[in-house]
Amino acid sequence: MKTTTMLAALLASTLIASPAWAQTIGPNGETATPSSEVVLTDADIAALQGKGYKAALLWHTSSDFINAVAAGANDEFARAGVDVVVTTDAGFDAAKQRSDIETALAASPNVILSLPLDPVTSAEAFRGAIDAGAELVFLSNLPAGYVHGTDYAAIVTDDLFQMGKQAADVLAASIGGEGTVGWIFHDADYYVTNQRDNAFKATIEADYPGIEIVAEQGISDPARAEELANAMLLQNPDLDGIYVTWAEPADGVLAALRSAGNTTTKIVTLDLSEPVALDMVKGGNVVGLVADEAYELGRAMAAAGLKGLLGEEVPAFVVAPALTVTADNVAEGWQQSLHRDAPASVLSAK
């Protein structure tokens, strides 16, 4: 009963904007501004209409997440009468991204949205766009040495602290606020995953005295998740819960639990994924997925770029809200994050 009550209270507050966004900081220590504050006014829309402005979306990969970000950006650009003339997918290839930039510049976009794949390579690759006078808005990453207001309009990313905090809250609720847990973190120097992972750990240590993190494991290759989870479980077979840095390695951790016949250890992870969501709605090990509002990320990116185009001051570092998705709100949560229905397999399994 205690666990059910805690989960119900948690769900009542998770589908709202994060209240503690100021705890998330940018790659160079920038203070966060909520995406809700980066909005095109009616006067902005009027100033943009009929000018023939163009935009380019130069993505690093393709996925449900990127599709939602692109949808938010496309809708905002359409509202302002700005044509999206180029959309590309670099397939996580920095050389391909550089080629995509060169191709896009031939169409003379006024605003470019992108996620730079490599800080050093990207710094050189995007220089041509700066020289051409395009407003650059970056998703999460920043090219090395770039200066806000001179080289780019804004960085837009998740409310990183809240993602980790909400993961801690939902895992704690699922085990009644007491027990032992494992912490599988991203073993790389990347401010996005580092802040999310560390926020989980900090929240458990500060807010849940009845819970102890007894096992820690870094991971850099998601393909090794099952192997690393097996080692963790061998030394700690009675873990009440495990935090996993994002959904792909969480699938490997879930496989390890299934192989061991373990139906009691709870999993919480970040980002929406069909395999782990399916386990969650079937009442398996997964108890929660903490996601960002991907559509809102795209909307805010477009708005930031257009405000920069109008010569307005734009915050350097903008964050979109986080939300907790559980079996009870999976349909609503999927829509709020990605602006699309959850997979049919997930919805039919409820």
The predicted pLDDT at position 2 comes to: 47
Would the pLDDT of 11 be above 70? no
Q: What's the pLDDT band for 350 if we cut at 50, 70, 90? A: confident
- Rounded Cα gap, residues 311 and 75, in angstroms: 22
Q: What's the pLDDT band for 6 if we cut at 50, 70, 90? A: low
The predicted pLDDT at position 14 comes to: 47
Please name the residues in contact with 150: beta carbons below 8 A apart, sequence gap of 6 or more: none
**Residues 292 and 324 sit within 8 Å (Cβ to Cβ):** no
- Rounded Cα gap, residues 24 and 161, in angstroms: 5
What's the pLDDT tens digit per position in 250-289?
A: 999 999 999 999 999 999 999 999 999 999 999 999 999 9
**Residues 123 and 143 sit within 8 Å (Cβ to Cβ):** yes
Would you call 263 exposed, middle or buried from its count of C-beta atoms within 10 A (0-12, 13-18, 19+)?
Answer: exposed
What integer is the mean pLDDT of 49-61? 96
Would the pLDDT of 36 be above 90? yes
Please report where in the chains the tokens 């900081």 appear, as a residue.
25
Would the pLDDT of 15 be above 50? no
Q: What's the pLDDT band for 292 if we cut at 50, 70, 90? A: very high
The predicted pLDDT at position 22 comes to: 58
The predicted pLDDT at position 13 comes to: 44
* CA distances (Å), origin 192, targets 60, 160, 217, 268, 311: 16, 7, 18, 18, 29
C-alpha gyration radius of the chain: 21
The tokens describing 326, both together, are: 């559980």
Percent of the chain with pLDDT strictly greater than 70: 94
Would the pLDDT of 330 be above 50? yes
What's the pLDDT tens digit per position in 22-31?
A: 589 999 999 9
Tell me whether domains 2-15+160-292+324-349 and 33-158+294-322 share a fold. Answer: yes
Would the pLDDT of 189 be above 50? yes
What's the pLDDT tens digit per position in 118-132?
A: 899 999 999 999 999
The tokens describing 299, both together, are: 């909307």
Average pLDDT, the chain: 93
Would the pLDDT of 8 be above 60? no
What integer is the mean pLDDT of 224-233? 97
What integer is the mean pLDDT of 215-221? 96
Q: What's the pLDDT band for 18 if we cut at 50, 70, 90? A: very low
Q: Which helix (H) or strand (E) holds 11?
A: helix 2-14
Task: Name the 3-class secondary structure at 154.
Answer: strand
Q: What's the pLDDT band for 16 if we cut at 50, 70, 90? A: very low
Q: How far is CA 11 from the centre of its chain?
A: 19
Return the C-alpha torsion angle 66, 248, 320, 306, nearest 10.
Answer: -20
- Rounded Cα gap, residues 112 and 136, in angstroms: 5
Q: Which CATH architecture has domain 2-15+160-292+324-349?
A: 3-Layer(aba) Sandwich (3.40)
* Domain 33-158+294-322, classified CATH 3.60.15.10, yes or no: no
What's the pLDDT tens digit per position in 293-321?
A: 999 999 999 999 999 999 999 999 999 99
The predicted pLDDT at position 115 comes to: 96
What integer is the mean pLDDT of 192-197? 96
Listed by start position, the domains of the chain span: 2-15+160-292+324-349, 33-158+294-322
The tokens describing 113, both together, are: 């949205």
What's the pLDDT tens digit per position in 127-159?
A: 999 999 999 999 999 999 999 999 999 999 999
